[in-house]
Structure 1
Amino acid sequence: MRKSFTFLATALLAGLMFNTSAQAAKTYQVGTDAAYAPFESQNEKKEIVGFDIEVLKAIAAKGGFQVKFINTPWEGIFASLNNGDRDIVISAVTITPERKQTMDFSEPYFEAKQLIAVNNSSKINKLADLKGKKIGVQTGTTGDEAAQKLLGKTSPNIKRFESTPLAIQELQSGGVDAVIADNGVVVNFIANNGKGKLRTIDDASFAKEYYGIAVKKGNKALLEQINKGLAAIKADGTYDKIYKQYFGK
């Protein structure tokens, strides 16, 4: 009888400890601008989906915390982090020296750079070949800056669009000769809408960019959890699986 009581008490204590541990996992509010497929966007059910979303969910599972994604306009996304409305920001954010002064970043989770998209029949093979050509870009992006450096800030040959997909659609219809844009967005669009019709050019002059997960300046504990989870999903193949799902090889 005593052994049974001891066993029961031990079992109850173990169950209590398990439940307490499960409840201890904190839920963090995550800001993301869900208008940048395939990194973050909304599906037909208004659910936030995308590469960044899957990556952070996997990181959270390994890092021992939970996440709640909140669609947050880009203009105010960093302010929401600094004022405490958001605990984490993941939104294809390039790590820059300027941003590092006001927030802390995880280790890089994505290497990005600009790509040139052209029609398969085009004779364009490098950035310099775009001189005198019409270039489509998304307004205010790195692609826009690259086009300005090549053609000049006021060049009428730079055609600006609200999104990269709109710029690529203009390329497909013959309105521009090429599009300069983020590699992830370009590759995703071509895979889903332009197979056999479009090709990409990786010019050596385009600098590498690295995306990081941002937390409020000084939040070392959360940053350690994120980096721990990121290292784990890179080590066990989870990251590669998610990457392949969105970007192929």
Structure 2
Amino acid sequence: MTIIHRRFARAAAGLAAVLALAGCGKQEAAAPAAASAAPPAARVLVVGTDAAYTPFESQNEKGEIVGFDIDIVNAVAKKAGIEVKFVNTPWEGIFNTLDQGDRDFLVSAITITPERRQTMDFSQPYFDARQLIAIKSDASVTRFEDLKTLKVGVQNGTTGDEVVGKLLGKSSANIKRFESTPLALKELEAGGVQAVVADNGVVAHYLANNAGAGFKTVSDAGFATEQYGLAVKKGNAELLAKLDKGLAEIKADGSYDRIYAAHFGAASK
């Protein structure tokens, strides 16, 4: 091999070594792989409730939302592994907040009806209710039909409003609609209406805490048993499954019965 060729070979070998070192250096200088990102915090679900329906939901002196429904949802949420916060939401318009996505689900002594099932989905029932008539102690009412000629108070948009509307006519001047059942019962006490039709739990609670009101109640065999459910946006099967799972678990382990007894003074039936 000639001197020129040897020099050329040495130079080429040197260049290859430099390139190899450069390549190694680039590999070593590469940035380390990014650490795994922490999973995002679970979103707090917003629960709408009309906090004017004692003992199911109301506000205490601190402004906190409390009641049977609230205790049930908190227990369900714990079992389902979800976090919730309650937002006081007026009954009129409460279903719109669900449809628009402002609320993730609703708990507000909501009766499950075929009409409501068309626009929202419901959990398994968590409470059995029926309508109850409240009247003055000296009134002669003995059945629902006796209300046909009387002025009757109801909470606007409730099942009581629906059944009285069917009896008297939806636009009857003898139906007085109120924002809450306690307001209707106050009007009965003041003489502005002669009867109030509302869910038994609310009426019974009011009478127990207002013994001086001079009321009595009348039940009618024609009143169908109603069931309350948690309402979710139509098609939200994932959330519905979590809520149903939580409800099943609190019923199975006795939590439901303890909550029921705390609010109604007896075991659930």
Q: Where on the TM-score scale, by shorter chain, does this alignment land: which range?
A: 0.7 to 0.9
Percent identical among aligned pairs is 62
Quick check: 1:197 aligned with 2:228?
Answer: no
Q: What RMSD, in angstroms, separates the aligned Cα atoms of the two structures?
A: 2.7
Tell me by how many angstroms 1:163 deviates.
Answer: 2.5
Aligned match for 1:112, one of 129, 137, 152: 129
Please say if residues 129 and 201 of structure 2, whose CA atoms lie closer than 8 Å, have aligned partners that are also in contact: yes
Tell me by how many angstroms 1:57 deviates.
Answer: 0.3
161 and 102 in structure 1: CA distance in 2 versus 1, 3 angstrom threshold = closer
1:191 & 1:90 partners in 2: Cα distance? Answer: 24
- Which has more radius of gyration? 2
Please say if residues 55 and 205 of structure 2, whose CA atoms lie closer than 8 Å, have aligned partners that are also in contact: yes
Aligned match for 1:71, one of 88, 93, 103: 88
User: Residue deviations 1:22-56, cap 9 Å, x none?
Assistant: x9765322122223222222222221112111110
Counterpart position of 1:219: 236
Aligned match for 1:44, one of 49, 61, 71: 61
244 and 156 in structure 1: CA distance in 2 versus 1, 3 angstrom threshold = same
Tell me by how many angstroms 1:198 deviates.
Answer: 2.4
User: Residue deviations 1:123-143, cap 9 Å, x none?
Assistant: 322112334333232334332
Tell me by how many angstroms 1:67 deviates.
Answer: 1.1
TM-score by length of 2: 0.73
Q: Which moved more, 1:225-234 or 1:113-122?
A: 113-122
- What code does the residue aligned with 2:111 have? T
Quick check: 1:148 aligned with 2:129?
Answer: no
102 and 113 in structure 1: CA distance in 2 versus 1, 3 angstrom threshold = same
Counterpart position of 1:93: 110
User: Residue deviations 1:109-155, cap 9 Å, x none?
Assistant: 11222100123333322112334333232334332333333334454
Q: Which moved more, 1:182-191 or 1:84-93?
A: 84-93
- What code does the residue aligned with 2:120 have? M
User: Residue deviations 1:181-220, cap 9 Å, x none?
Assistant: 1222111111111379322211111222221112233332
SS of 2:133's equivalent in the other structure is strand
86 and 162 in structure 1: CA distance in 2 versus 1, 3 angstrom threshold = closer
Quick check: 1:242 aligned with 2:254?
Answer: no
Unaligned runs of 5+ in 1: 1-19
Counterpart position of 1:138: 155
1:103 & 1:215 partners in 2: Cα distance? Answer: 6
Please say if residues 120 and 196 of structure 1, whose CA atoms lie closer than 8 Å, have aligned partners that are also in contact: no
User: Residue deviations 1:64-89, cap 9 Å, x none?
Assistant: 22211122333443333334332222
221 and 152 in structure 1: CA distance in 2 versus 1, 3 angstrom threshold = closer
- What code does the residue aligned with 1:149 have? K
Q: Which moved more, 1:97-106 or 1:23-32?
A: 23-32
TM-score by length of 1: 0.79
How many residues of Structure 1 are paired with residues of Structure 2 in the alignment?
229
Q: Which moved more, 1:140-149 or 1:45-54?
A: 140-149
